Structure 1
Amino acid sequence: MGITSVSDYAWGHLSQHATGTVHSVFSSSLNVELDGLLLHLGSSDAPLSCLGANVDAEEMPALVGSAVQGDRAVFRDGVLRIYSRARVSELELSAAPVRCMRVPELAGAFPNDIDAALLREIGVLGLADRTGLPWPDRSRSAVSELARFSAMCRRVLDKGERSCGDAQVEAAERAMYGAVEYLVGRGLGLTPSGDDVLMGFGTALRFLYCGGVSSMAQAFFETVSSVVPGKTTAVSEAYYRAMGEGYANEDYLDLLAVVRAMDEQALPDALARVLELGHTSGADSLLGFGAAFCCLL
C-alpha cells in the first residue's frame, strides 16, 4: 500500500521491531498499538496526524474495510504488516517522505494584527455552540482561566516575572492547574472534548511563548504531564505526549503558518480546515487555541 507521508514524531518513536494490534477502526482511518506506541493511519486527503502516517486515499477504503479491532500488527525492517482475516496489508513506512510535525516558535513581536483577526474570525464560528464539552459555568470559567494564564505568560515574557508580581503569577498558575484538572478526560469519545480544548491551547501556547523560553508557559506542560496519566483515554494520552514534546497535527501547523505570516485572507480557510476534524474535536480544540490568543477572556 502506498504511504504518502510519515510524521517525524511517529517515525522517531518506532522501534526497529515492534508488535501489537489494531486498536480502533473508523470510516477513513485506524489506530494501531505497537509496543505502547499508538500509530494513526489516515487518508492522504486528510491532514497528517503527528502520531502516524497517511495512506493513499484510493487504497484507504480497502485497509479500513478489512481491518478489525484486535488484528495482529508487526513492524519490521520499515514495513508495517496488519494481519486481517481477509488479507495481509503491507505498509512500507520507510519508503515514505518524513514530514516535520514540530510546532514552530514565534520569532519577534507578538502578531497584534493577526490577533485581532483571530478574535473576529473565531467569534464568527460560534464555537461555544459547537463544542462537545458540557458548557455550564464551570466549563466557561475553565476556558477563561486558560486565557488569563496565557495573558500572564505574555506579561511575564514582556516584562519579567518580578515585574508582574509573584502573587499574580502564582494565582494564574493555580487557576490554570484547576482548569487542567477539570478538563482532562471530560466528555465522550476517543479524544474527549476537554482534552481537545487543552491540546489546542497547548499548541498555541508553545507557538507563542516557548520561543522566549517562558518558564511560566512550561508550567502548563508540566501540569498536564502530572495530571493526565490514568485520567483519560489511551488516544488522548498519546496526543498529550506528542504535545508535550512540541508536536501537532498538520491542520494546526498550517494554521500556525498562516498566523506566523499574518495572512488574514487565508485565516478563514485555515480555521475551517481545523473545524472539520471529527464530530466536535475541531471546535473543541479551537476553543483552546483561541484561549491561548486571549480571544476568549
Structure 2
Amino acid sequence: MQLSSDWFNAPLYTTSFKGEEMHAELPALLSRKRFGHVHSLFDNGINIAMGEELIFIGTTKNGRLPFGIHLEMENLRRLCQSVRHHDIVVASMPDLLLFRHPSYPLALDLSQAKRYQYKLRTEQYNRYLDLYHADQMVDICRHWGISNGLDATWGAVLAASPAQADSPNDLSIGVQFPLETLFDAIRIGEERSIEQHLRYYLGRGQGLTPSGDDILLGILAVQALTAAFHPSLLEQMDRILSTEQITTDVSKAYLKHALHGRFSDKVVAVLNAMMQKDVSHFQAAVVRLLQTGHSSGIDTAYGIANAVMALRRYKHVKTSCDCIGR
C-alpha cells in the first residue's frame, strides 16, 4: 500500500486514545501488516482491515475476541464519532495505531493494554464422557426464548441416533442438510459430502455473522477441544474460505481464527466449564454465550451441543484404535 505525500504532511496526532485490552497475538500481526483502513463501523465498535486480516476495536459485549482490541466506553464513543469508512490506518509500531482523519489524525495507544488469550483445556479431555453437561445445555437453550437462526429444533439434538435425512448429494432448492449427516461425513472423512454440507451452511442466514457460520463455529470449537472428527473438516473449510467470498468478511474472520483454535472467551468458557462437575458455573457460562448478538450465541450453542451429542452417539474415545478422525 502506497501512501500519498499528504499523509506525511498531516498534522501531529494530538488526539490519543488508550486501549484497555487486546489479544496477545495482535502485536505480531501489527508487526507484519502495517497498513490498512477502516473496514466497517457499528454501534459497539469498528473493524479495521490490515491486509486480509480484520481487527475489531470495541466493547466486550460479544466477548473478548481473538482479533479484538477493547476500549472504555467513553473512549470508544469518541473514536467511533471521529473515524470514517475507508480512513487509512497505519501501525507505526506494534502498539500504536494511527488513523488518518482529514482534520485531526487520531492515535490509539496500545502500550499499556492488558494482553489476553483464552485457551481450551485440551489436556483435560480424553473421551466424550469428560463432557458432563450437554443435556443441561440443551435445556437452557430450549428455555431461552430466542429461536435458532435457522429455525432448527432443539429436540432433535437429543435424539439417540441420527435422524433420517434427504441424500446429501441432492442440491436441489429447498433441500436441507441436517447436521447429523454432516457428522456422519466428518466422522469418516467423506470429502465430497463434507464440502456440500459446508457450502450449505456457510453464509446461510442474516447478519454480520450468518447463523450457519455460527453453528459451524460451535462445531469447530468442539473439534479444537477434542480432535474427534476427521481433519478434512478443517481442510475443506480452510480451502473454501481462502478462495471464495462465500460469507461476510466479519464471519470469515471468526471462522479463520477458529480453524487455528482461537475463540472468544465466551465460547472457551462454555467448553472448559463443560469438563467441570460444577453445574452452576457451566450454566452461567452458557447464559453469557446466549447473550451474544441477536441469535449468534444460540446458534453457536446449537453447533456445540450437536457436536457433543454426535460424540455421544459415536461413543468416541480419543485414545482408542478406532477413534473418529484417526
Common fold by TM > 0.5? yes
CA distance in 2, matches of 1:71, 1:47: 26
Could you list the per-position Cα deviations for residues 84-141 of structure 1 after superposition, in whole angstroms to 9, with x for gaps in the alignment?
Answer: 35643322224322212343324334325323323333333366x241x365987864
Cα distance in 2 between the residues matched to 1:201 and 1:19: 33
C-alpha distance in 2, partners of 1:80/1:2? 10
Query: Does structure 2 conserve the Cα–Cα contact (< 8 Å) formed by 1:3 and 1:93?
Result: yes
Instruction: Indicate how the Cα distance of structure 1 residues 85 and 189 shifts in structure 2: closer, same or farther if over 3 A, else same.
Output: farther
Q: Does 1:206 align with 2:249?
A: no
Alignment of 1:41-52 (within 5 A): 41-44=57-60, 47-52=63-68
Deviation at 1:145, TM superposition (A): 2.8
Higher mean displacement: 136-145 or 185-194: 136-145
Partner residue of 1:256? Answer: 271
**Counterpart in 2 of 1:98?**
115
Amino acid corresponding to residue 142 of structure 1 in structure 2: P
The structure carrying a bigger helix percent of its residues is 1
Counterpart among 81, 87, 95 of residue 71 in structure 1: 87
Deviation at 1:190, TM superposition (A): 2.2
Match of 2:178, SS? helix
Q: Does the 8 Å contact 1:122/1:290 carry over to 2?
A: no
Distance apart, 1:293 and its partner CA: 1.1
Percent identity, please.
22
CA contact (8 A) 1:29 1:41 kept: yes
Checking the alignment, whether the CA contact within 8 Å between 1:66 and 1:86 is kept in structure 2 is no
- How far did residue 185 of structure 1 move? 1.3
Q: Distance in 1 between matches of 2:274 and 2:39?
A: 35
Q: In 2, distance between residues paired with 1:180 and 1:48?
A: 26
Using a 3 Å threshold, how does the CA distance of structure 1 residues 190 and 46 change in structure 2: closer, same or farther?
closer
**How many angstroms apart in 1 are the aligned matches of 2:136 and 2:175?**
25
The alpha-carbon deviation at position 182 of structure 1 amounts to 0.5
What is the RMSD computed on CA atoms of the aligned residues? 2.8
In structure 2, relative to structure 1, the CA distance for the partners of 1:19 and 1:280 (3 Å cut) is same
Task: Pick from 167, 173, 177 the counterpart of residue 195 of structure 2.
Answer: 177
Answer yes or no: is the 8 Å Cα contact 2:148–2:302 preserved in 1: no
Cα distance change of structure 1 residues 97 and 114 upon mapping to structure 2, 3 Å threshold: same
User: How many Å separate the matches in 1 of 2:38 and 2:85?
Assistant: 5
**Which residue pairs with 1:197 in the alignment?**
215
1:116 to 1:284, Cα distance in 2 relative to 1, 3 A: closer
Distance, in Å, in 1 between the alignment partners of 2:144 and 2:176 is 16
Unaligned runs of 5+ in 2: 1-16, 154-164, 166-173, 314-326
Q: Decide which structure has the larger Cα Rg and report it.
A: 2
Q: Residue in 1 aligned with 2:231?
A: 218
**Equivalenced residues, count:** 272
Rounded to whole Å, the distance in 2 between the matches of 1:262 and 1:147 is 27
